[in-house]
Amino acid sequence: MREPSLLQDLIDSLRCLPGVGPKSAQRMAFHLLERDRAGGERLALALDKAMARIGRCRRCRTLSEHDVCHLCRRTDRDASFLCVVENPSDVMVLEQATDYRGFYFVLGGRLSPLDGIGPEELGIDQLRERLAEQTVSELILATTTTVEGEATAHYIRGLADEYDCHVTRIAHGVPLGGELEYVDSGTLAHAFAGRRQLF
């Protein structure tokens, strides 16, 4: 019924963005066309460049346009800490929320043999090389608490043990300001079992 058009194509293309349904895509397309053509042009260019030129950091596997990302190139950070995360976005949120001054290693997923994701896919060899450098004294696990996340954490813990590296894990529990009645039972049970001495 509808004629194919550049407008329809733009609306359809906007649907590739997460959380954008047909209504939002329509609203976005009209907003750009009617009120912000410069923004639309800038976005087109940014997308084009990012898709073509952003690859993975050779050292930490995060997304980067350089062979080695700007974080790994920093000399003012503490190489004795290595934080292992699942995704590049985790690096960004940790950088924004914490004052962590060590380095990162991005797995790019979780161990999931059924989906064909084994140690190789997660760059475990690279992580091993990193630990073999003997500069890391504390490996901080920031993987998720899903079954696969736990298996991944367990696997990496074994690896770190081989290199006599101290392993810690970020705390899981009730979010700050979270009311107990709104916290899911798994988190609550975990927080209760993991209670600590109050000083």
Residue numbers at the binding site for its own copies (CB under 8 A): 3, 5-7, 9-10, 12-14, 16-19, 24, 26-34, 36-37, 39-54, 63-65, 70, 87-89, 92
CA distance 62 to 91: 8
- Report in angstroms how near the CB of residue 77 gets to its own copies at its nearest: 13
**Residue written as token pair 């000083």:** 199
Tracing tokens 């997923």 back to the chain, one arrives at 109
DSSP helix/strand/coil, 134: coil
Least distance (Å) between residue 112 CB and its own copies: 16
Least distance from its own copies to the Cβ atom of residue 143, Å: 16
Tokens of 98: 């914490």
Please choose, from the candidates 77, 91, 83, 94, the residue with its C-alpha nearest in 3D space to the C-alpha of residue 130: 83
The per-residue DSSP string of 88-101 comes to: HHHHHHHHHH----
- Tell the smallest beta-carbon distance from residue 145 to its own copies (Å): 20
Q: What are the residues facing 85 on neighbouring strands?
A: 106
